[in-house]
A and B are shown apart, each in its own frame.
Chain A
């Protein structure tokens, strides 16, 4: 139990650093989603089912979705702007 808990925490430390190190924002959003799921597993392991549930729906689904939508909106803007400029 103690070894599994320490291993989970170390896994979170490594993946948290990797999320920050990823410089491409689209890839980073996917990494954040994975990191959120890992945090949910940790909450479940440490006897916090309420927080695990809210972390699964928010950290792994809703938050990456919102970031993806914002990136899509900015890309869309760039596309329309460049096509207007070309005319």
Chain B
């Protein structure tokens, strides 16, 4: 089947899709006139029920927490999949290329940005229940901070951080912590993933019970996961092959 045939199939399938999509779109709410009741109900309730001012995170880590647990394990298993596929046991430890051809200016400014990025990432991780942010976004920001180490120093330094066994332990711990928070509710005699930790004062960093704990554990999982991902791709270039 060459490209011409595939294009023909595409046009037939696309015509069918458009036909049914247009029928469906006719009954969708007009743009900018949301009419479902659920969004309004949850918006008005979450501040009182969960003491969390960011409703999106309250839904993600509490009301819809079981679903997010599944999403986090999709993330966890795909990272394991990448590592299984790309890790080569024959690779030896030493770094083949030690210095990159980057200018001094880039290196110095990347070194200065490392601390700022790391702190900003941790801030986003821990303030998810109050302002836009949370574990998913903060985790990626923390991971990019470690990519700045690669720019500021060299591959060797990045490898020393990313290939440390602790990285894998932390990744597994991030995934396990989420499940453990869910199980801990069973220990107190409540259903799985119930928000049983005292809710605290609305607007405090330590408010909203399990939402803050789960957000932090997701942040740990995502940050270490992305560092491991980028290291796995770099590995072949970083290490020399054993003869």
Contacts and interface: CB of A to CB of B under 8 A. Distances in A.
A contacts B directly (C-beta below 8 A): yes
A80 B243 CA distance: 13
Nearest to B236: A73
B57 A50 contact: yes
A54 B136 CA distance: 7
B124 A53 contact: yes
Interface in B216-243: 226, 229-230, 233-234, 236-237, 241
Interface string B176-216: 00000000000000000000000000000000000000000
Nearest to B60: A50
Contact of A49 (B32, B132, B237): B132
Contacts of A62: 140, 143-144, 226
A70 interface: yes
A53 B230 contact: no
Nearest to A77: B236
B18 to A, nearest CB: 15
Given A66-B230, A69-B233, A53 B133 contact: yes
Tell me what chain B mostly uses at the interface: helix, strand, loop, or mixed: helix
Contact of A53 (B132, B147, B233, B237): B132
Contact of A70 (B137, B140, B233): B233
Interface residues of A, number: 21
14 contacts: A50-B54, A50-B56, A50-B57, A50-B132, A50-B133, A53-B132, A57-B137, A57-B140, A57-B141, A57-B144, A66-B233, A69-B234, A76-B237, A80-B241
Contacts of A58: 140
Contact of B233 (A49, A50, A57, A73): A73
Interface string B133-151: 1101100110110010000
A50, A76, A80 pick with most chain B CB within 10 angstroms: A50
Interface of B: 32, 54, 56-57, 124, 132-134, 136-137, 140-141, 143-144, 147, 226, 229-230, 233-234, 236-237, 241
Given A54-B137, A57-B144, 13 more contacts: A2-B32, A50-B54, A50-B134, A50-B137, A52-B132, A53-B124, A53-B132, A53-B133, A57-B137, A61-B140, A61-B144, A73-B234, A77-B236
A72 interface: yes
Nearest to B237: A76
A58 B75 CA distance: 14
Contacts of B124: 53
